Chain A
């Protein structure tokens, strides 16, 4: 094969000298890169890369020169003799591309390229390959990639405070800096904190009383066990995971609401799994490969993690890597990760696994029921189609009939509407005109601004003769346009074939009426046209009065049949939204610089290189997802357990030991207490990946029981409280806030599970059951920092803004709940003093102080109407809306 020089002459016969570039006479090999390769990529790669249709691959110089089954496809310098050019011109078989002839300019470009020698510069591929990716020893030794090791708690001086092993880790760091933990929290504060932490709700005043009076050493352990057993626990901690899983009840559809049919089953599965303390390793595996586990019926719902993901494959890699592993693998999409040892091949390896899955619905009904529904549904659709086609055909026929009387309608339109000729006979010779159609013409003609010029003569006509002539000419025009439209529709039908997809439509090269003629056609026969009867859903029966005899009987029979079929249609069966593997998996290449049209080396499915001891082994064919799940949920994986215990720690203390909970890479935070993190991760795995045991271990510590009071000395040393010398005060999150208001007003509806509900109306369900929208998040949730469900979320922000205060001051929700709260108070209190006490016990689970009582009396004195406002003040108070 001969090698051509880089500089070519592009012949201006093929490409008229309109472009400066062409006119200047010479182009170099850039011509190939800018005009030819992109054209091949766009038009040919779908079939002529890995699929090698006709034996031809157009993705490299070498493959191009080799040609297809019938040999080389181009004769350099002779376009006319080149199979490539003939195929593109549609001169010979095969005609390429089969989806439609290329634009003349594109064909001309290929011709010019062949004519000039068909230069295909040496590919990058053939050039020197970059050295293979290597992970350095230093990278391997990064803290989060080191195996988790069992750690013994350090010795400390203050063993009276540090009563548990966790406390030892905390105390050791404090003592090393010469800091002292603050005093412990009051029992009132402690039970409130624990109740919010585990259930997202405050305790009742009675529960506080009981705890305050329980002097046994196990008093707090009993509280924790009670809370962990409460169904409210699964709702609270399930929601925590749903943040990570970017759970949503709808898709981010740009034009309309597009809810998932059964997203709630994933949400409910998560809540139940957490409630039942499903081991976390199993919980992880279920979400990645639940369909491949023994007892898969118990786990398949977990696949909602992917089935409900934003429909972008790279999101799936991102949510998998950040959510389970705390790694930003998605940063390696266009280039090797800039900071972490994650080569691009890792990204595409995982991407390939998810690209070879597809959405899948599992019917939650007996096969007979499903089959019966599907069969009946098919009959309904068939009948609907039949009816639509019949009405369409009649409507088209009618349009033609009415159009052939256009001139007479025009002439009659000027007549007064009560003129007898409109009904039956006739200065306008011929059979009677249709009254409604005439009215439509009259209305149409009354508005002279038209999107076509064909009525100009009509509007200009002043004499009867001129009018008659203009009307006749207009009628001729109308009929001609209708004939032309019919031809064009036929032609386009041939071009499109049967049942074109949206993609087919988008790529089709069709013909159309010109703008003016189309305007005329649309005015008369479009959906709102003068001559349009029937066809559209709303006007389905408009056609009826034009039909009679067997024609009308047939129409009515179709309608009756359809109604009967619909009546027999059973209610839709419930489904589970999951994913499944595609029947024919495709090989995944690295996409160079993230460009799908620029495939590089193969990226066979394997686990991340940095987490594979002896370099990544390819996953077994057909078991890719399961092996991925097992690799992630393995006790030997240094990240999975660390990442999860850190998330749990963050939820209990406001911050994780690592303050970037979804980034354990080099750009993430370093753990404040690395030994404690390993201690917890090791214990977590050895205790059977049990979240409930982990909560218990974390909460039954002096560290957790600290108060939130400040200390100048500690503050000066450690203002961010990284060493946990005190507890971190927090604002209630959106769910806790709404649920708590409903809880103290006595209106909270504790019904669990089921389809998502809109919370902006009468609904008083727990907020975890609210409709979560990617398209338009509920405004109350958004106002209080609910995370954006378009991406996996690692932590909640906590803002304090005036718009939130307006919500407390003026929202119907707070006003209504305050009214309900005060009604609840009034039912058990006989005077102002008792009311004040009762309000404090409901809202803050304590007695008011004398000063608080005095202020309340002042506020309501002589003004019984002020009680609901008093309730509102209490619901807005910092003490109610913050956890201390």
Chain B
């Protein structure tokens, strides 16, 4: 079953919102001066947004497993006061059986000029809090990892919908044609895995390029980026022959955008061989810089993310780790170690991007797929009762950089931090807001598939204007 969209069809499937701006973007020359590729066949060419964007790039730092809001960015004095006692109204429904209130073992302190309270386990991020907007009223639909991971990444609780990065590169292309437009870094795989950065029914070029950043040899990070035996000059000669043969074929068969784009893609691939390994080679960074990011996977991932957006990559997602490390059902004290791993790198990333001016045009999103209960888990699936169950009713997500107000909190959970009660923000709303910051109207970024216009936010989503600068 084969489908080769013509330029006309691509423009049609892109939906009404694209209009002439989209067409102009597609047909314009590339920023690096190489020849513009024709329409549908140059799907990664930078495209004009719907309106003026406040951010051009996005870095999504994904703390997979579900970080606890009441131990990190959502302090609750009532929770501390009534620790060990039941919630009078009864516990909200979560995945597993929960018991009484469990006060946070961590102290909070007022940080920055804004005085936002941040847990002691994030000392460096606390110092940078004036650059950050803390949304304390996030909520999602189901307190299970799989549906929540799908919802946060792809806007729908079951598999089959394109990921946010796929939508963004589909809508905006990318500024560097020698690198993938959407890069996903994870040591190992988050649960569910590659489905979380799949393009599903969008063209495959928009799927995330997965980089196992536990691998330290740059050449091994991208599949087939190096030829094991043929040196580059020899490969250049082969590529020249290929181009000549393809041109002969094109003369014989008549001009064709597919054949033309195939020739161009080979040229880009050739250039990628030089540029891509370089960007992942963090030994190119001064030792002092590497020191600030730390010698572990997440730190290296943040540093790679910085180098990628510096080169124009549209979206980088950095997962904290293999599996779901933040899923602390048994013992919330483990959050201390996890936070220690991410605190320094996040602060370093914010500081570096700020110093270079890139923070102004890079949106940083920090968070997990849901939060955790303020009550202790008492189910038979834990060995000891010092942890928290999944919580879909309320959690915190952090935004920073391009177009976002720093040093503010938005929304609130109830007295105990269980449920978002003031200005609740659904994941669809977060997506709408992220797209807005990147200059896209979430209701107009559509793709016609199987007779229906699909979008990241499905039929919902409201832009949270208050967090935008």
One of A473-481, A742-750, A802-810 at the interface? A802-810
Asked if B4 and A798 sit within 8 Å, CB to CB, the answer is yes
Q: Does B245 contact A (CB under 8 A)?
A: yes
Knowing A254-B145, A852-B245, the reply to whether A506 touches B379 (Cβ < 8 A) is yes
Asked if A105 and B384 sit within 8 Å, CB to CB, the answer is no
- B145 nearest in chain A by CB position: A254
Q: Does A788 contact B (CB under 8 A)?
A: yes
Which of A504, A662, A777, A877 has the most chain B CB atoms closer than 10 A to its own CB?
Answer: A877
Which listed residue, B44, B191, B272, touches A255 by the CB 8 Å rule? B191
Which listed residue, B198, B242, B259, touches A873 by the CB 8 Å rule? B242
Asked if A518 and B383 sit within 8 Å, CB to CB, the answer is yes
Within 8 A of A (CB), among B115-149: 145-146
Which listed residue, B9, B44, B194, B227, touches A809 by the CB 8 Å rule? B227
Asked if B241 and A859 sit within 8 Å, CB to CB, the answer is yes
Which listed residue, B204, B249, B379, touches A879 by the CB 8 Å rule? B249
Within 8 A of B (CB), among A471-509: 492, 496, 500, 502, 504-509
Question: Which residues of the other chain, B, contact A496 by a CB distance below 8 angstroms?
Answer: 380
Within 8 A of A (CB), among B43-69: 43-44
- Whole-angstrom distance from the CB of A851 to the nearest CB of chain B? 6
- Whole-angstrom distance from the CB of A861 to the nearest CB of chain B? 12
* A790 vs B205: C-alpha distance when bound (angstroms): 19
Interface size on B, residues (CB 8 A): 99
One of A386-394, A400-408, A602-610, A665-673 at the interface? A665-673
Q: Does B287 contact A (CB under 8 A)?
A: no
- B149 nearest in chain A by CB position: A254
Asked if B90 and A795 sit within 8 Å, CB to CB, the answer is no
Q: Does B33 contact A (CB under 8 A)?
A: no
Knowing A779-B223, A790-B195, A800-B262, the reply to whether A795 touches B204 (Cβ < 8 A) is no
- Whole-angstrom distance from the CB of B451 to the nearest CB of chain A? 4
Question: Which residues of the other chain, B, contact A26 by a CB distance below 8 angstroms?
Answer: none
One of B19-27, B106-114, B232-240, B299-307 at the interface? B232-240
Knowing A35-B89, A506-B95, A878-B246, the reply to whether A500 touches B450 (Cβ < 8 A) is no
Knowing A660-B451, A802-B269, A810-B226, the reply to whether A515 touches B254 (Cβ < 8 A) is no
Question: Which residues of the other chain, B, contact A42 by a CB distance below 8 angstroms?
Answer: 93
Knowing A506-B380, A731-B258, A804-B265, the reply to whether A872 touches B238 (Cβ < 8 A) is yes
Within 8 A of A (CB), among B145-168: 145-146, 158-160
Which listed residue, B41, B222, B229, B244, touches A800 by the CB 8 Å rule? B41
Asked if A103 and B1 sit within 8 Å, CB to CB, the answer is no
Knowing A788-B160, A799-B204, the reply to whether A18 touches B3 (Cβ < 8 A) is no
B317-337 vs A, CB cutoff 8 Å, 1 = contact: the mask equals 000000100000001010000
* A19 vs B86: C-alpha distance when bound (angstroms): 13
Q: Does B273 contact A (CB under 8 A)?
A: yes
* A785 vs B3: C-alpha distance when bound (angstroms): 10
Within 8 A of A (CB), among B62-105: 78, 82, 86-91, 93, 95-97, 99
Asked if A873 and B89 sit within 8 Å, CB to CB, the answer is no
A799-821 vs B, CB cutoff 8 Å, 1 = contact: the mask equals 11111111111111001000000
Asked if B331 and A515 sit within 8 Å, CB to CB, the answer is yes
Question: Which residues of the other chain, B, contact A650 by a CB distance below 8 angstroms?
Answer: 1-2
Which listed residue, B272, B273, B386, touches A515 by the CB 8 Å rule? B386
* A777 vs B180: C-alpha distance when bound (angstroms): 19
Asked if B224 and A506 sit within 8 Å, CB to CB, the answer is no
* A18 vs B254: C-alpha distance when bound (angstroms): 78
Asked if A254 and B1 sit within 8 Å, CB to CB, the answer is no
Which listed residue, B90, B96, B225, B415, touches A506 by the CB 8 Å rule? B96
* A804 vs B259: C-alpha distance when bound (angstroms): 14
Asked if A873 and B253 sit within 8 Å, CB to CB, the answer is no
Knowing A668-B451, A775-B193, A869-B234, the reply to whether A720 touches B6 (Cβ < 8 A) is yes
B415-450 vs A, CB cutoff 8 Å, 1 = contact: the mask equals 100000000000000000000000000000000001
Asked if B2 and A798 sit within 8 Å, CB to CB, the answer is yes
* A877 vs B235: C-alpha distance when bound (angstroms): 15
- A798 nearest in chain B by CB position: B4
* A514 vs B383: C-alpha distance when bound (angstroms): 11
- A655 nearest in chain B by CB position: B3
Asked if B209 and A803 sit within 8 Å, CB to CB, the answer is yes
B1-42 vs A, CB cutoff 8 Å, 1 = contact: the mask equals 111111011000000000000000000000000000000010
- Whole-angstrom distance from the CB of A482 to the nearest CB of chain B? 15
Q: Does A729 contact B (CB under 8 A)?
A: yes
Asked if A252 and B266 sit within 8 Å, CB to CB, the answer is no
Q: Does A794 contact B (CB under 8 A)?
A: yes
A285-300 vs B, CB cutoff 8 Å, 1 = contact: the mask equals 0000000000000000
* A504 vs B380: C-alpha distance when bound (angstroms): 8
Within 8 A of A (CB), among B179-233: 180, 189, 191-195, 198, 200-201, 203-205, 207, 209, 222-230
* A791 vs B195: C-alpha distance when bound (angstroms): 12
- Whole-angstrom distance from the CB of A323 to the nearest CB of chain B? 12
Question: Which residues of the other chain, A, contact B333 by a CB distance below 8 angstroms?
Answer: 451, 515
Q: Does B404 contact A (CB under 8 A)?
A: no
Q: Does A512 contact B (CB under 8 A)?
A: yes
Knowing A720-B9, A795-B1, A882-B259, the reply to whether A785 touches B204 (Cβ < 8 A) is yes
Q: Does B289 contact A (CB under 8 A)?
A: no
Question: Which residues of the other chain, A, contact B244 by a CB distance below 8 angstroms?
Answer: 855
- Whole-angstrom distance from the CB of A115 to the nearest CB of chain B? 15
Asked if A667 and B89 sit within 8 Å, CB to CB, the answer is no
Question: Which residues of the other chain, A, contact B266 by a CB distance below 8 angstroms?
Answer: 802, 805, 808-809, 876
- B6 nearest in chain A by CB position: A720
- Whole-angstrom distance from the CB of B422 to the nearest CB of chain A? 11
Asked if A796 and B258 sit within 8 Å, CB to CB, the answer is no
Within 8 A of B (CB), among A765-798: 775-777, 779, 782-785, 788, 790-791, 793-798
- B421 nearest in chain A by CB position: A20
Asked if A794 and B97 sit within 8 Å, CB to CB, the answer is no
Q: Does B358 contact A (CB under 8 A)?
A: no
Q: Does B261 contact A (CB under 8 A)?
A: yes
Question: Which residues of the other chain, A, contact B415 by a CB distance below 8 angstroms?
Answer: 18-20
Asked if A859 and B237 sit within 8 Å, CB to CB, the answer is yes
Knowing A709-B253, A882-B259, the reply to whether A798 touches B3 (Cβ < 8 A) is yes
Question: Which residues of the other chain, A, contact B229 by a CB distance below 8 angstroms?
Answer: 815
B447-458 vs A, CB cutoff 8 Å, 1 = contact: the mask equals 000111000000
Which listed residue, B90, B97, B239, B246, touches A507 by the CB 8 Å rule? B97
Q: Does B381 contact A (CB under 8 A)?
A: yes
Asked if A803 and B237 sit within 8 Å, CB to CB, the answer is no
Asked if B1 and A647 sit within 8 Å, CB to CB, the answer is yes
* A661 vs B450: C-alpha distance when bound (angstroms): 8
Knowing A803-B223, A810-B225, the reply to whether A105 touches B2 (Cβ < 8 A) is no
Knowing A254-B192, A512-B382, A805-B265, the reply to whether A507 touches B96 (Cβ < 8 A) is yes
- Whole-angstrom distance from the CB of A603 to the nearest CB of chain B? 21
Which listed residue, A109, A312, A720, A869, touches B238 by the CB 8 Å rule? A869
Question: Which residues of the other chain, B, contact A514 by a CB distance below 8 angstroms?
Answer: 385-386
Which listed residue, A654, A710, A793, touches B4 by the CB 8 Å rule? A654
* A853 vs B43: C-alpha distance when bound (angstroms): 35
Question: Which residues of the other chain, B, contact A249 by a CB distance below 8 angstroms?
Answer: none
Q: Does A572 contact B (CB under 8 A)?
A: no
Within 8 A of B (CB), among A851-883: 851-852, 855-856, 859, 866, 869-870, 872-874, 876-879, 881-882
Q: Does B469 contact A (CB under 8 A)?
A: no
Which listed residue, A328, A777, A811, touches B194 by the CB 8 Å rule? A777
Name 20 interchain pairs, CB-CB below 8 A, sorted by A. A18-B87, A18-B88, A108-B90, A243-B1, A254-B191, A506-B381, A509-B97, A655-B3, A720-B8, A782-B194, A794-B450, A802-B266, A803-B209, A804-B269, A805-B268, A809-B239, A811-B224, A852-B245, A866-B234, A873-B238
Sorted nearest first, the 3 A-B pairs with minimum C-beta distance are: A505-B380, A805-B269, A105-B90
